């Protein structure tokens, strides 16, 4: 039998209801695991063991009172990316400018997890303000990939993915603006989903790119992904972009076969630049889906070549606006000994922001400035519409689209830090999903000859997360790719 910290959410939920162990015992086991491996992984920014154990004891009382009717997440130890507002933990976005900031309210998804009786272990590390693909841009410390501690875990939700992969949490929440859930999930050998834009409320998510950001689950398997997605989905009137659509029981899509499902293979995603091991994994994945009875269909997404440029114009423009509020006037870091308010604004932002955040603010401010707005930002919005239409046309022929999640397995720390453009290309397969607003999920597909995970990505039309879970679960059972973290 697996040790308690190695259990999936659904295994732990079953054990809790059967009385095999308590939430307090489960939480202690995970906290012990954190104590053992966290010095090497550094997945967390903050952990509060006493508070977690108190929440676990409350969950045990609820489980005794409600039994089988208790929510699926009751008593389950989870982690939160540190750009989700929490009243009982600081919310830093891994930035010096928010080092000691404690929000006066919880994010909507945090409210839902508390209502479900989940145990909140702490806040996970990330690229500063979610700007990065490796978690090396954290203003506090880098995070290691549990499969190889000399490699990056992906980003920006690298701390959440590493915590789940290292068994330092049974599941976690991340945010995804251009691949920040799916890419680290792929590199850490776990499951990560970006829901449809509007499926999950962004209330209490510290904004990076408001038209792109979406909160989603990172878990060890697809069933856990469905459980966590069930808990956080739904309309929230406090978020004007939250969609008033019904939320299905996402677990009901599991164990449905994919016979007859049409899966698109976009030729633009299988061009030059893909690592040979990733290409091999994709070949094997296509074979697996064919053996499951799915029909593979060639499709074209002709504006894919423009996606990276479009994304880094739209996202940085929105970031420059969203981050204007961090100026030392109301909260967060304030520079000392300044001569006047302009000096205070300037020095506060210079001291508080890291290099990557400054780079994106400057780029975004530039493309929004007079004389450049039409040439860059407005043109990017038009291309974004064309990218969205590409997907709409493809979905007239297919039910879902299959691509790699990342062009390479996890790379070594420092390998791309001096080449921002090379780093940006790490998101080449994931950013179109955010530009189009559609859902996407990354599932472990293979392990490289170096012992590193490789993920595949499935994308579907708006609000068809159930279709993704159906296909991902079928593939997961067929491929039988499981994480083995022997080095830890």
Query: How far apart are alpha carbons 398 and 185 in whole angstroms?
Result: 25
Dig out the tokens for 296 from the structure: 């593979």
Dig out the tokens for 213 from the structure: 């950001």
Which residue in the block uniquely carries the two structure tokens 């919880």? Answer: 106
Dig out the tokens for 122 from the structure: 């702490």
Dig out the tokens for 308 from the structure: 């990276």
Dihedral pair phi/psi, residue 365, rounded to 5°: -65, -40
| Beta bridge pairs of residue 296 | 263
Q: Which residues are marked as active site?
A: 81, 156, 180
Closest CA to 165 of 310, 348, 40: 40
Query: How far apart are alpha carbons 178 and 283 in whole angstroms?
Result: 25
- Strand pairing category for 191-194 and 440-447: antiparallel
**CA 181 distance to own-chain centroid:** 2
Per residue, the 3-state secondary structure of 352-372, as one string, reads HCCHHHHHHHHHHHHHHCCCC
Query: How far apart are alpha carbons 340 and 344 in whole angstroms?
Result: 6
Query: How far apart are alpha carbons 180 and 205 in whole angstroms?
Result: 14
Q: What letter does residue 195 receive in the DSSP assignment?
A: P
Q: Map residue 481 onto helix, strand or coil.
A: coil
Query: How far apart are alpha carbons 58 and 236 in whole angstroms?
Result: 26
Closest CA to 331 of 130, 123, 102: 102
**Contact criterion met (CB below 8 Å) for 154 and 406:** yes
Query: How far apart are alpha carbons 333 and 328 in whole angstroms?
Result: 6
**Contact criterion met (CB below 8 Å) for 317 and 310:** no
End-to-end CA distance of the chain: 19
The length of the chain, given as a count of residues = 488
Query: How far apart are alpha carbons 243 and 342 in whole angstroms?
Result: 40
- Strand pairing category for 440-447 and 295-299: unpaired
């Amino acid at each position: 039998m697996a040790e308690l910290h190695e259990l999936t959410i659904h295994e732990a939920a079953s054990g809790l209801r059967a009385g095999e162990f308590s939430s307090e015992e489960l939480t202690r086991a995970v906290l012990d695991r954190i104590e053992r491996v966290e010095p090497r992984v550094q997945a967390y920014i903050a952990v509060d063991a006493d508070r977690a154990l108190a929440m676990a004891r409350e969950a045990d009382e609820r489980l005794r009172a409600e039994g089988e009717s208790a929510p699926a997440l009751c008593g389950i130890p989870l982690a939160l990316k540190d750009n989700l507002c929490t009243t009982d933990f600081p919310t830093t976005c891994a930035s010096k400018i928010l080092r000691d900031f404690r929000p006066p309210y919880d994010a909507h998804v945090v409210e839902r997890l508390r209502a479900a009786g989940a145990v909140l272990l702490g806040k996970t590390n990330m690229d500063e303000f979610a700007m990065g693909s490796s978690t090396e841009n954290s203003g506090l410390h880098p995070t290691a990939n549990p499969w190889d501690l000399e490699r990056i875990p992906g980003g920006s939700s690298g701390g959440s993915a590493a915590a789940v992969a290292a068994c330092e949490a049974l599941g976690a929440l991340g945010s995804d603006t251009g691949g920040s859930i799916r890419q680290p999930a792929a590199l850490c050998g776990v499951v990560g989903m970006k829901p449809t834009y509007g499926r999950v409320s962004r209330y209490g998510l510290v904004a990076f790119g408001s038209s792109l950001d979406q909160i989603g689950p990172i878990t060890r398997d697809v069933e856990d992904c469905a459980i966590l997605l069930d808990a956080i989905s739904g309309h929230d009137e406090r978020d004007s972009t939250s969609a008033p659509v019904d939320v299905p029981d996402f677990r009901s899509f599991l164990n449905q076969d994919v016979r007859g499902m049409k899966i698109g293979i976009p030729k633009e995603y299988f061009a030059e630049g893909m690592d040979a091991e990733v290409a091999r994994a994709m070949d094997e994945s296509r074979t697996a889906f064919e053996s499951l009875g799915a029909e593979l269909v060639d499709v074209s997404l002709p504006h894919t070549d423009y996606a990276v440029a479009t994304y880094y114009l739209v996202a940085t423009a929105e970031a420059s606006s969203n981050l204007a509020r961090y100026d030392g006037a109301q909260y967060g870091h304030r520079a000392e000994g300044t001569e006047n308010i302009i000096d205070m604004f300037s020095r506060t932002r210079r001291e508080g922001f890291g290099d990557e955040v400054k780079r994106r603010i400057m780029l975004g401010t530039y493309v929004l400035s007079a004389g450049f707005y039409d040439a860059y930002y407005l043109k990017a919005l038009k291309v974004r519409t064309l990218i969205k239409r590409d997907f709409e046309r493809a979905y007239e022929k297919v039910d879902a689209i299959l691509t790699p999640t990342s062009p390479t397995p996890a790379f070594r720390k420092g390998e791309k830090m001096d080449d921002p453009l090379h780093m940006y290309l790490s998101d080449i397969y994931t950013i179109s999903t955010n530009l189009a607003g559609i859902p996407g999920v990354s599932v472990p597909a293979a392990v490289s000859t170096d012992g590193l995970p490789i993920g595949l990505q499935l994308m579907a039309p708006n609000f068809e997360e159930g279709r993704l879970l159906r296909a991902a679960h079928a593939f997961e059972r067929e491929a039988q790719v499981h994480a083995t973290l022997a080095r830890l």
